[in-house]
Structure 1
Amino acid sequence: MYKGLNKSKIACTIAAMLMVGAVGSVNAAPTHDKNVIGYITQWEAWKGPNEGFSVKGEATHLNVDMDVYSILNFSFFGVAKDGSLHSGDLRNKSIYQPNAVQEPGPLLHPDVYSSWDFHILWGELEYIHQYPTDEPWNADQLKKVQDQGFVKHGNGWLHQPTGITGQFPIPLKKAGGAPGLIDLAHQKGVKVMASIGGWSMSKHFPEMAADPVKKERFMKDIDKIMALGFDGIDIDWEYPGTGGMNFEGNPEDYANFELLMEDIRTRIGPNKLLTAAFAASTAKLEGYDWARLAKSMDYFNMMTYDLNGGWSNVAGHNAPLYPYPEEEYPNLDLDYLRTWMAAKGIPSKKINFGAAFYGRGVQTTEATAYVGAPTDKRKVNFSVDGPTMSSVDLDNWKQFEGQPNYNFIKKQPGWEHKWDASAEVPYAVKGKYFLSYDDEASIAKKAQYIVDHNLGGVIVWQVHGDVECAGSFVSYGSKLKQCTDLRSPLAAEIDRVFSAGAVPNNAPVLTVPAAQNANASQVISFDVSATDADGDKLSFSVAKGSVVDNGNGTATVTYQAPNTATDLTDVVTVTVTDGRKKVSKDVTVNVKGSGAIENTAPVLTAPATVDATSGQPVVISVSATDADGDALIYTASKGVVTETSKGAEITFTAPTVTADTAVNVVVTVSDGKAEASKTVVVNVKADGNNGGTTWDPNKVYLAGDTVTYNGVKYTAKWWTKGEQPGTSAVWAKFDNGSLQEWTADKVYNGGDKATLSGVTYEAQWWTKGDKPGATSGPWKTL
């Protein structure tokens, strides 16, 4: 990826080029001014091939694209019962139990064999197993130890520059070895902050912030952290006022949090960074004095993820950009939070929104999962949260406890990947299992949203969630390994959007009429209009009705009043979008009741035809509306009917045929009093192999091999066995190079061409799901 040089980082770049080969090649710094803040944990490095990494030790600072990130947050230090700080590796694993407390412990775990603290922060190590004696034969080793600031301290050692103490062996930085996180980041012009707290280590925040004695112990350890070379402090108190794992919040927390920020600012000085992570639920944010916080803090890191999961009663999205009809609770999405923060007058440049490099999986009560499906809960014993009622999917994501990294999600076969056009995020289903995650397309949309609204940037949880090693590994000491060809597709998408030079987008201005009047069952129409300062193409949509775009900035909305005996008030929501921003307004309709109810038959929507392959299943999706609001029941003459939140799906297994055959499936919907039916013609195609062998799940295929499955021809991109075409990334639909119609599920690279509505377009860069014709999009008209 090409990036231009930022002059402020040239000196750092030159310094990095003088390093030994341990750190690999140095690329140019980003040219944009957005924050890209990545959390790097000190426990992820333990994970290996079972968790989507190539080797154990891949998830360290040596495998982070520091040309993409501007700040890295080392996570986490915890707060002990006396207010002191401790290594995250020393977390009390029973902290979820009643009356459990966190005892004090070392700031960095002293055992270099069971912890990554020193390996990540100090880099490649040379172990000195006892303090060198002052003897001529030991002079060189003694000088090395003293030059790095180590002195004898009891039965161990003291590092004088930082005040850190530990046990033997002494973790000496190896001369010429791979650098530690802070050294490497600074050579690349990246800042490193120390994150304190997190979900499982926040219990003692409230008492520390309220007790001057405990707070002073906290501050003394802040001094040690800053002496290690960190560029600032990030507070992850989860959560002031509302509480968290095994502790209750109280109203005084908010003022104590604000004072704590001011005290930390005084302690670290005006030139260091001070940030904090905040919940995405506005109910947890109302208690803060945001104007006061803005004076002491640099950034507000909003955790716009974990909005749905195993605790939810229905399957929902982990990190939705916009609201969606099936959501369990309203106002849990990025767009609502931004609007709320803007209304509070919070400076937009101080706001960073969350990007999830992981997903959340749940199991549902339905045979086929869908957005809004009821979740299936049972008692689960989590490693962090302990015994909890949860619907978490442990059948597919056991090693992640239901939270798989993106780099692992991509490799799993058998999932049907879908896109929610309302929330603007992907999801996947496999039988009763539901997975919410983010991919390149949704991450790019969130990055563009940040540009459009002139926000500070993003926070990434966590940086190793998307890393992929396309090369080999070089080892540095017993634990550190560096990939020779590292890929970070989600981080690269953020960088691409932020570096594109896009200007903030103006939202459309929507005008709707005053309240309308209608009689029961009456069909009425009214006009709406919209303008856009950027001249973007506008499109209209409506809830509870239909809309026709008149093509001149106006649209006509048609609405049918319900068949009601009594007077009522209804609301028609009209939405206009320019492809980047949406604006909605409500039109009130006063409906005059008829005094008597006559049943109205439901209206069924079903496809006229569907295509199927001999002997293979096909799903027919149908929906229906009922003016009376009656409950609807779906039936079909053939196949298995499964009701969904939007209608029903009929799964029909086509007969085995030797010649193309048409089969009629009659679908019926009933409101208990009247019914409507439609015939769907299933065109069953005889399996003629379509130029390739039929896919065999027991056969090994190599790159370039072609197969057919369900009548579609596919080409293998690499070695594969048992991964079903159409559901696994290893298989690509065969492309003969001819100009074809654009499809939302296909990946296009720069230079690829496609047609849409008779117009030919050319992709300017990598894209998936971005519809040609949008202003400032990846497509240009030929």
Structure 2
Amino acid sequence: MRHAFSRPGRMLAGLFLPLLVAMSGAAFAQSSPPYRIVGYATGWIPSQTKDVGKIDTLIFAFAQLKNGNVGLDDDHAKGLQTLIALKSVNPKLKVAVSVGGWTVGGFSEAASTAAGRQQFADSAARMISTHHADGLDVDWEYPGHHESGIKSSPQDKANFTLLLKSVRASLDRVGAKDHKHYTLSIAIADGPFVSDIDIAAINPSLDWFNLMTYDFVNANTPTTGHHTGLHASALIAGDGRTTDRAVKEFLAAGVPPQKLVIGAALYGREFADVKPDHNGLYQTYGHFQSGHNWPELKQDFINKQGYVRYWDDAAQAPWLWNATTHRFITYDDPQSIAAKMAYIKAEHLGGIMYWEQTNDPADELLNDMWKGLNN
């Protein structure tokens, strides 16, 4: 949480800069909520305003990375201001800005030199301050990887650590002038996608980690499965990805549990021409069909048109199977959300985040998250 400080005299400001930064960080840690509910938002639907009091942080997606600079074009700046205006309804709401996303490159190049890292960091901090946001979220998918079509380098691992250190320093420097603690988080995956990230080394720079514990199965994986499963299904192969395995990986790297915010999905993924064994669960498939947001799943798929809902008690996750068409859908629902909330409490984690706000216009799953963490 950001804190205001009495403005020191101009001559004393420089002397007290390190103290202000330290005080800001300490105050932030002391005033953090027991559990965060963090929502990525590409936009906002007015009907959702009634529930804005249930959200701790909205992360606007996305700022642009162009020629090494982080910034917002006019349209995205307007979108950000729409979210910031929600503070009139919930004064405690924090609004951060995410830079990056799947297929967005330029990170490896920007992080490759000290000058590039400083340019990235200073432009990001300037953007956050200028637009009156509360923090930055870095979504580089992924250091050392090029599956999304971006450039990568063997040096990304070391450079990512240095980049986040630079960003933290720039945010603290600007924050001291603005009398705020600007938060720094990252969107981060697990398993093979953190092979080129030094989790222990980046931890000190970050306020929290947004664990993208969804899309475990997708168009690039060989089988169906639970795309946002909590635990391992009896049918999962080897070290297949799950939320619990992701959490354990980060805990083993020394990240405090309260800095881990696990992910929920407000959408499902459908696969076609699926092998029918085990009602399509963890089976090979012909092709990835499409994604469906939560209202679509309720209206058209869950126990409708031949799609039957099943529950995997081991994984604590639902799925849909159409025995006639051999279609399979994996998704989060109120039951799996409840299981994740119980897990967050049991493991003393930082909270829940979700992709993406407009995928659930009635905020049904958001309400389930809030109830699960506040009851």
TM-score bracket for this pair, using the shorter chain length: 0.7 to 0.9
Whether 1:446 and 2:340 are equivalent positions in the alignment is yes
Among 408, 431, 444, the alignment partner of 2:296 is 408
In the alignment, which of 277, 288, 298 is matched to residue 392 of structure 1?
A: 288
Structure with the greater alpha carbon radius of gyration:
1
Q: Which has the higher helix share?
A: 2
CA separation of 1:62 and 1:246: change in aligned 2, threshold 3 A: same
Residue deviations 1:610-654, cap 9 Å, x none?
xxxxxxxxxxxxxxxxxxxxxxxxxxxxxxxxxxxxxxxxxxxxx
CA change 1:244–1:365 in 2 (3 A) is closer
1:118 to 1:345, Cα distance in 2 relative to 1, 3 A: closer
Specify whether residues 325 and 72 from structure 1 end up closer, same or farther in structure 2 by C-alpha distance, changes over 3 A only. Answer: same
Determine if contact 2:311/2:319 at 8 Å carries over to the other structure.
yes
Give the equivalent residue in structure 2 for 1:297.
206
2:315 alignment partner, one of 423, 439, 446 = 423
Q: Deviations over 1:38-63 (max 9, x none)?
A: 00014xx6xxxxxxxxxxxxx36964
Give the secondary structure class of the aligned counterpart of 1:345: coil
In the alignment, which residue of structure 1 is the partner of 2:239?
330
CA contact (8 A) 1:241 1:254 kept: yes
Report the equivalent of 1:108: 73
SS at match of 1:403: strand
Could you state the TM-score of these two structures normalised by the residue count of structure 2?
0.81
| Matched position secondary structure for 2:200 | helix
Tell me the equivalent position of 1:279: 189
Aligned partner letter, 1:392: F
Which residue number corresponds to residue 355 of structure 1?
A: 264
Q: Shift of the alpha carbon at 1:64?
A: 6.7
C-alpha distance in 1, partners of 2:148/2:50?
Answer: 31
Segments of 5+ residues of structure 1 without an aligned counterpart are: 1-7, 9-30, 46-58, 87-106, 110-114, 123-179, 377-390, 394-401, 469-487, 501-782
Which residue is 1:77 aligned to?
63
Contact 1:406 1:466 in 2 (8 A): yes
Offset of residue 32 of structure 1: 6.2
Question: Is the 8 Å Cα contact of residues 321 and 334 (structure 1) preserved in structure 2?
Answer: yes
Structure 2, unpaired ranges of 5+: 4-31, 176-180
> How far 1:240 moved relative to its partner?
0.7
Matched, 1:316 2:225: yes
Task: Decide whether the 8 Å contact of 1:352 with 1:457 is kept in 2.
Answer: yes
Q: What do residues 453-503 of structure 1 show as CA deviations (whole Å, max 9, x unaligned)?
A: 0001111111222222xxxxxxxxxxxxxxxxxxx2211111111112xxx
In the alignment, the residues of structure 1 paired with residue 200 and residue 237 of structure 2 have an alpha-carbon distance, to the nearest angstrom, of 32
AA partner of residue 280 (structure 2): Y
Change (3 A) 1:245 1:311: closer
Checking the alignment, whether the CA contact within 8 Å between 1:418 and 1:428 is kept in structure 2 is: yes
**Residue 130 (structure 1) aligns with:** none
Please tell me the residue identity of whatever aligns with 2:366.
A
Deviates more, 1:428-437 or 1:213-222: 213-222
The amino acid that maps onto 1:498 is L
Instruction: Say whether 1:458 aligns with 2:368.
Output: no
Do 2:265 and 2:331's aligned partners in 1 also have CA atoms closer than 8 Å?
yes
Whether the 8 Å contact between 1:351 and 1:457 is mirrored in structure 2 is yes
In structure 1, the residue matched to 2:107 is: 205
Q: Kindly indicate whether residue 82 of structure 2 is the aligned counterpart of residue 120 of structure 1.
A: no
Separation in structure 1 between the aligned mates of residue 119 and residue 261 of structure 2, nearest angstrom: 30
- Tell me if the contact between 2:110 and 2:117 (Cα under 8 Å) persists in the aligned partners: yes
The answer on whether the counterparts of 1:37 and 1:460 sit within 8 Å (CA) in structure 2 is yes
Partner of 2:11: none
Compared CA separation, residues 365 and 428, structure 1 to 2 (3 A): closer
More strand by share: 1
Q: Is the 8 A contact 2:57 2:94 kept in 1?
A: yes
Offset of 1:217 from its aligned partner?
3.7
Pairing of 1:436-515 with structure 2 (within 5 A) = 436-468=330-362, 488-500=363-375
Alignment: residue pair count:
329
RMSD between aligned alpha carbons?
2.3
TM superposition shift of 1:77: 1.4
> Which of structures 1 and 2 has the larger relative contact order (alpha carbons within 8 angstroms, sep 6+)?
2
- What secondary structure sits across from 1:245 in the alignment? coil
Is the partner of 1:392 in helix, strand or coil? strand
Q: Over residues 143-177 of structure 1, what are the superposed CA-to-partner deviations in whole Å (9 max), with x where a residue is unaligned? A: xxxxxxxxxxxxxxxxxxxxxxxxxxxxxxxxxxx
Name the SS for the 1:192 alignment partner: strand
1:341 aligns with 2:342: no
Query: Which position in structure 1 is the counterpart of 2:162?
Result: 259
Give the aligned residue type for 2:60.
Answer: F
Partner of 1:653: none
Cα drift, residue 367 of structure 1: 6.2
- The SS at the match of 2:264 is strand
Residue 66 (str. 1) matches residue 52 (str. 2): yes
- Cα distance between partner residues in 2 of 1:261 and 1:34: 24
